[in-house]
Amino acid sequence: MSASDCTYLAAFVAILLVATPVLGRWTAAVLRGDPPAWLRWLTPVERVLYRTAGVDAGAEMTWPRYALALLSFNLLGGVIVLVLQLLQGHLPLNPQHFGAVPFGVAVNTAVSFLTNTNWQAYSGEASLGYLTQMAGLGVQNFLSAATGLAVMAALARSFSRRPVGGIGNFWADLVRSTLYLLLPLSFMLAVVLVSQGVVQSFAPYPIATTLAGTEQVIPLGPAASQIAIKQLGTNGGGFFGLNSAHPFENPTPLSNFIEMLALLLLPAACVHAYGVLTGARRHAAVLFAVMLLFFVGAVGLSLWSEYNAPGAARCALEGKELRFGVTPSILWANATTAASNGSVNAMHASLSPLAGGLALANMLLGEIIFGGVGSGLYGMVMIAILGVFLAGLMVGRTPEYLGKKIEAFEVRMAVLATLLPCGVVLLGCAVSFATEAGRAAAGAAGPHALTEILYAWGSMANNNGSAFGSLTATGTLFTWGGSLAMLLGRFGVILPILALAGHLAGKRSVPPTSGTFPTDGATFAVLLTGTILIEVALIYFPALVLGPVLEHLLLLAGRMF
């Protein structure tokens, strides 16, 4: 690694650290219903939306009502995306006259975007018209991110309020998150991306004649506006099939840096916002420190693996864009899998075995290293609750977290939210290797095939969306089984968290005593780190050893897959 690489990495972390509290305060203010002064001109728009929908934004919702509103709204969004894909041959803004998307792929895509996964079994420039991209996928990018923010806000309220029957209002949380946070940020980022050369056009695809005398179709489209929310909302679904490796989606080293930073900004800000909303800023700082520790550690180990691989595999540029190079590609790979983003600027299947394994491990942790917008924070809080429960067992006291007693119900919900995606991943892998269709989907052999399958199910169940490029994702197993995995990984986690929030909201806060386990110091950070590592070691260690670790050992012996 050169000095410029070290400067690049340091600048990335430094800007993230500076931006986090600024965006965190903004996010907290929006979720409290007190947007920044420079955005209050949008308040009449908010009121019109409520009146049009017949919504009382001030009405408190119990957790079942909150969950019902969330599920029904997301179901409606998924149906709209599905219909747009099936009818796009008859819709405007389709200059290439694309026909209907195959039904299985259309369902998979609709589920993928409503769950914030953005798993893509299609290539956008060869399958989808502009209206489908904008009104379907682009809109869902906003709404799925806003859903994550809403659940985070509901959870934060359950700790910060006196005993009440409600956890907030889903419609208010959804509208405010979109109107005052996601839209302004996306507009600003889209303008910056256009300045760097990202395409934003409604023109038909032009046809160019190459130097060899052959004709080449040049794909266009309103890409910049969609890429902005794709990164900021930790969605990750590319406008083009190559995602952010495509020069029309990510043309310059500066656009690469900005897009990569954007995908971590809101997940990091959510941690600070959680501290503001709950009044536990020091505790939020501990959560952030643990997340940053895992992220920096994964980046460091991945870079070591890439720069110290044996023979021709060392610093290999196969699968990487020359305009970016090794270090930015590795940083992006870890950022996109630490956050539940899933966008790529290099092919993860071409990373060194350990670097690919670390990208996989980032997801298997449960997308809690920053994670998705809102979802990363509430996933980490579930681990924190399990951590204080373990601490309570060791000292023989009823555990407390942020002033609320953690009892059997809370522990059951935290365990369910944490372990359900793990079960989905392992079951999906078992079915894949037990069936001919599952084995045939892998585009590699040996331990790399195991890593490829494990990566796919880990990506879908944890709502990441990235994949090893050699996987065939259009078969029945990954189309329909993957859709179920994405739904369980999203709503099978959200529902227990809302139930937990509703239960905690009805409890009285307990003042801290000399026996209360502190959650704002180094001891808790160590406990939290240990809880995360134990979870992954117990569940995934055998698979990781037989996949990326074994492939690394075989690479040292001169065998490649």
Closest Cα partner for 345 from 332, 361, 358?
332
pTM: predicted TM-score of the whole model, two decimal places: 0.96
Query: Does position 89 have pLDDT exceeding 90, yes or no?
Result: yes
Separation between Cα atoms, residue 398 and residue 104, nearest integer Å: 49
Q: What six digits make up the tokens of 9?
A: 């990495």
Query: Percent of the chain at pLDDT above 70?
Result: 100
Neighbours of 44 (CB within 10 A): 9
- Band of residue 107 on the pLDDT scale cut at 50, 70, 90: very high
Residue 393: what pLDDT? Answer: 85
| Residue 9 pLDDT grade (very low, low, confident, very high; cuts 50, 70, 90) | very high
Range with the poorest average pLDDT among 249-253, 302-306, 349-353, 507-511: 507-511
Answer yes or no: is pLDDT of 464 > 90.
yes
For the chain, the domains span 348-556
Q: What DSSP letter does each residue of 454-473 carry, written as one string?
A: HHHHHHHHTT-----TT---
- In tens, the pLDDT along 395-424 reads 777 789 998 999 999 999 999 999 999 999
How do residues 478-490 score in pLDDT, each as one tens digit? 999 999 999 999 9
Instruction: Provide the 8-state DSSP code for 222.
Output: B
- What lies within 8 Å, CB to CB, of 459 at 6+ separation is 117, 119, 342, 363, 465, 466, 467
